[in-house]
Amino acid sequence: MPRASIWKSIADTLLAEIGEGHYRPGDRLPTEAQLAVRFGVNRHTVRHALASLTETGLLHARRGAGVFVASEPQTYPLGRRVRFHQNVAASGRTPSRQVLRLETRTCDKREAEALRLTEGAQVHVMEGLSLADGVALAAFRSVFPAAGLPGLLAELDRNGSVTAALAACGVADYTRASTRLTAVAARATLALQLRLPEGAPILRSVAINHDAAGQPIEYGTTWFAGDRVELTVTPE
């Protein structure tokens, strides 16, 4: 067998074993060193095989933890009160959030329209990743009107929870007023964040949330990894 195809043979073997149930969704594969000993190759060849399976979405790597078989898609209901942590925890998985950006800036035209602000008004912006069991399910951007919420960024920085941060700023409840879903292809930076191949399918959700008085309180865009999330719409 030509040496150039050895990594492909290893990938095919692992693929067959996953298909036969030797490794179940969520299971960790043997280490690169262990696989190298098993197949009698160097770790670079094993790494090539694992990378090829990762690009298909079958495997995913967690820094410092290893390579895992991808879990079943996360069911994610879209309703009037959508709370990421509650949705993920209800499925038995551990939710977490990685905050990548917190800042106050001038709103753009689209944000002003969604939040009913005058152009040039200040907004708070939070960007990051939503994860389940350490795997990124989605990237997100939330935009909030800065007026009336002076302490919001500090609260978001403290715990990363939008619900808790808004509650600390006096917004006890908020509901989803509208949602727009679009299928798009992952651009390079988004693919890198979600550990997807460039061009992989993404479900983009654009939503506006209102407070109890009916005023827009959050303009959010979420990019869901298409093969990791199953979106459902509730009757409400």
Supply the CATH number for residue 218's domain. Answer: 3.40.1410.10
Tell me what the mean pLDDT of segment 203-221 comes to. Answer: 95
Location of structure tokens 């409840």:
173
Domain that holds residue 43: 3-69
Backbone angles phi, psi at 15, to 5 degrees: -60, -45
Residue 38, domain CATH: 1.10.10.10
The reported pLDDT for the residue numbered 4 is 58
Quick: pLDDT tens for 27-86.
889 999 999 999 999 999 999 999 988 877 778 787 777 888 877 677 777 777 767 777
DSSP tag of 151: T
* Domain closes at, from 43, 69, 95: 69
**pLDDT over 50 at 1, yes or no:** no
Identity of the residue numbered 30: P
- Tell me whether strands 174-185 and 122-132 are parallel, antiparallel or unpaired: unpaired
DSSP code string of 157-220: HHH--HHHHHHHTT---EEEEEEEEEEEEPPHHHHHHHT--TT-EEEEEEEEEEETTS-EEEEE
* Domain closes at, from 69, 97, 114: 69
Residues 97 and 39 placed together within one structural domain of the fold: no
The model scores a pTM over 0.85: no
Domain count, the chain: 2
Using 50, 70 and 90 to split pLDDT, how confident is the model at 228?
Answer: confident
Query: How does the average pLDDT of the chain come out, rounded?
Result: 87
